[in-house]
Amino acid sequence: MIKQSLWPRLRKRFILHLDPVLLAALGLLILTGLVVLYSATDGNWSRVLAQVVNILVAFACLWLVANIPLHYLMRTALPMYVFGMLLLIGVALFGEVSHGARRWLNLGVATIQPSELMKIAVPLMMAWYFEKHEATLTLKNYFVAALLLLLPVALIARQPDLGTAVLISASGFYVLFLAGLSWRVMGVLLAAALGSAPVLWSMLHDYQRHRIMMLLDPTQDALGKGYHTIQGMIAVGSGGVLGKGYLSGTQTHLDFLPERTTDFIFAVYSEEFGLLGNLILLGMYLFIIGRGFIITANASTYFTRLMAGSITLTFFTYAFVNMGMVSGILPVVGVPLPLVSYGGTSMVTLLLGFGMLMSIHTHKKLVQT
C-alpha cells in the first residue's frame, strides 16, 4: 500500500509540473553548451564545473517556478515591477561603475544587476496589466502598457546596457503585439520611426555618428569591438560545411577569438562543427521555440497566453541577436547565446522563464481535469 502510493506521491510532488518534452530539449541544448565550453576554455574543467553549478541552481529555480500556481505568479507582477524600478532608479543614482557603465547596485551583502530582474518583471507586469483590463481594452491601455515598457528600457539604455535594453524592448513589444495592438498603430509607429531617422541623424554629434558607423563597419576599430566581429566571422567562415572537428578550431585554440566562453561561444561551436552543426543548433532552438508556441496556443487565460508568447519569442530574440552579431549581420551588443554561453545570471533568468512556461502548461491541465 505504502509502496504503491509512493510513486504517485513522488510524481505529484516533484515532476507533475515539469514538461518532459521541453525539459529534454533544454537538457540537450545545455549539454551541447557544456561540450562547447570545454573546448572554449581549452579543457579547463574547473570552468566547466562552475557552469554545471550554475545550471543546477538554474534548474532548481525552474522547478520552483514551475510549481507555483499561476494566480500566485500573477500576484508577484506588480510588486516585482515596482521593486525592479526602484532598484533601477537606485542604480542610476548610486550605482557602481564598471566597464564604463553604471549597471550594478551594491547592497552591502551582494552586488546585483537589477536589469536582469526586469527581463522577467517587465513582460509579467504588462501581461498582468492587460489581463486586468481585458474586458475593456482601448488604445489608452496600450499606451499605458507601452509606458510600462519604455520607463525601464530608458533607464537601462542610459546605463548604458544596449543588449539588455534591446531584449527587454523586444519582450515588451511581443506582449503588445500579442495583446492585439492594431496594425494601423504599428504601421504609424514604424512610419514615424523611419521618417524621424534622418532628422535624428542630423541632430547627433559627430562623435555619436562615428560610434554608430563603427557599429556598422567593424574594421574601423580593429583592436576593440571590431576585432571581435572580424575574428568571429573568420571562425565561422573557416569552419566550412563539416567544421574543423571538436577541440581543433584554430581560431579558438590559437587565442584569436575573444570572449570565446561568453558572447562569442557560437563562433567556437561554428568553427568546430561547421554548417552541419549550425543546422543542428538552429534545429534545437527551433524545437524549443516550437514547443513554446504550442504551450502558448493552448494557454487558458489572457495573461498566460501573453506571458508564454513573450517568453518564447524573447528566447528566440536572444538566440537570433547573438548568432547574428557573431556572424556579422548585427552590431555587437552584449547578448549571450541562450543556454550555451558561460554565466550564471542569464542561465537563471532563462530557466526561470521556462519554469513559467511549464507552470502555464501544467497548471492549466489540472484546472481542466
Partner 1 sequence: MKRRVELKNTQREIYYFRLRLVLSLGFVLVMLFTLLARFVYLQVVKHGHYQTMAENNRISVVPIVPNRGLILDRNGVVLAHNYSGYTLEITPSKAGDLEATIDRLAQLVEIQPKHRKRFRKLLAESHNFETLPIRNRLSDEEVARFAAQSYRFTGVEIKARLFREYPYNEQTSHLIGYIGRINESDIQQLDENETAANYRGSDYIGKTGIEQSYESELHGTTGIEQVEVDTGGRGVRVLSRTPPKSGNNLVLTLDARLQEIAEQAFGNYRGALVAIDPSNGEVLAFVSRPGYDPNLFIDGIDEDSWNELNNSPDVPLNNRALRGQYPLGSTIKPFMALAGLYYNKRSPSHTISDPGYYTLPGSSHQYRDWKKGGHGSVDLFKSIVVSCDTYYYGLATELGIDNMFNFLSQFGFGKKTGIDLEGEVAGLLPSQEWKQKRYKEKWYGGDTVSAGIGQGYNLVTPMQLAFATAVLANDGVGYRPHLVRQVQHSGSNEAPVPEAKPEFTVALNPEHLALVKRAMVAVTQPGGTAAQAGAGAPYAFAGKTGTAQVVAMKQGEKYDASLLSERNRDHAWFIAFAPADKPKIALAVLAENGGHGGSTAAPIARKVLDYYLLGKVPKPLPTVNAAEETEDD
Looking at the Cβ atoms of 18 and 168, the one nearer to partner 1 is 168
Q: What angle do CA 85, 86, 87 make, to 5 degrees?
A: 90
CB of 13 to partner 1, least distance (A): 33
Looking at the Cβ atoms of 174 and 264, the one nearer to partner 1 is 174
Looking at the Cβ atoms of 81 and 266, the one nearer to partner 1 is 266
Q: What number of other Cβ atoms are within 10 A of residue 345's Cβ?
A: 14
SS3 223: coil
**DSSP state for residue 135 in the 8-state scheme:** G
Looking at the Cβ atoms of 38 and 320, the one nearer to partner 1 is 320
Looking at the Cβ atoms of 68 and 289, the one nearer to partner 1 is 289
CB of 122 to partner 1, least distance (A): 18
* Grid cell of 83 as nine digits: 521593486
- H-helix segments, 41-99: 45-66, 70-94
Looking at the Cβ atoms of 9 and 365, the one nearer to partner 1 is 365
CB of 312 to partner 1, least distance (A): 8
Sheet strands (E) in the chain = 96-98, 101-106, 111-112
CB 305 within 8 A of CB 271: no
**Of residues 198, 214, 191, 172, the one with CA closest to residue 309:** 172
In whole angstroms, what is the distance from residue 50 CA to residue 177 CA? 38
Binding residues for partner 1 (CB under 8 A): 42, 98-100, 174, 177-178, 180, 222-224, 227, 233-241, 250-251, 253-256, 270, 274-275, 278-279, 282, 285-286, 289-290, 293, 296-297, 302, 305, 309, 313, 316, 320, 323-324, 327-329
**Of residues 88, 195, 82, the one with CA closest to residue 128:** 82
CB of 239 to partner 1, least distance (A): 6
Maximum CA extent, the chain: 79
One-letter amino acid at 320 equals F
Looking at the Cβ atoms of 99 and 184, the one nearer to partner 1 is 99
CB of 131 to partner 1, least distance (A): 12
CB of 278 to partner 1, least distance (A): 5
CB of 365 to partner 1, least distance (A): 17
